[in-house]
Amino acid sequence: MSLHQIIYTSQPFGYDTAILSGVLLDARRCNERDGITGALICRRDIYLQLLEGPEAAVHSSFERISRDDRHIGVALRVSESVADRMFGDWAMLHDPSKSWLWTEHDVAYGAVEYASADDFRDVFAVLKANVQHF
């Protein structure tokens, strides 16, 4: 089975603890069902998410997220085949922007739009290097 990885960004709609908890609960439930793993880096101005797993399931998950009204301006940043999972132990790892690359000011002034695929991959590489298993 071929593994596929996508990274996307979006803006949260109505970001608060309850909405974030709902997003994480839905992601974990659907990802466990579909054989997807990944990580969500989030704060009130942006979501940055990596999804990995079977190609059809990953694309289906991305399509579902694109229709979810808790996300605004969903943009696919990376879509590629990969040899290994980065977050194979996590249905959806939550990182409340501890590994963040850009400040809120940077995001407001377009840093995400100018970032390369490598910039997005690097954010998750830093997160992976710092993950503590519970």
Domains of the chain: 3-130 (3.30.70.100)
Q: Are 34 and 57 in contact (CB under 8 A)?
A: yes
pLDDT in tens, the chain (134 residues): 689 999 999 988 877 788 888 888 888 999 999 999 999 888 888 889 999 999 999 999 999 999 988 888 999 999 999 999 999 989 888 877 666 678 889 988 999 999 999 999 998 998 888 876 54
Q: Is 55 left (phi over 0), alpha (psi -120 to 50) or beta?
A: alpha
For residue 21, give the 3-state DSSP assignment. Answer: helix
pLDDT of residue 134: 41
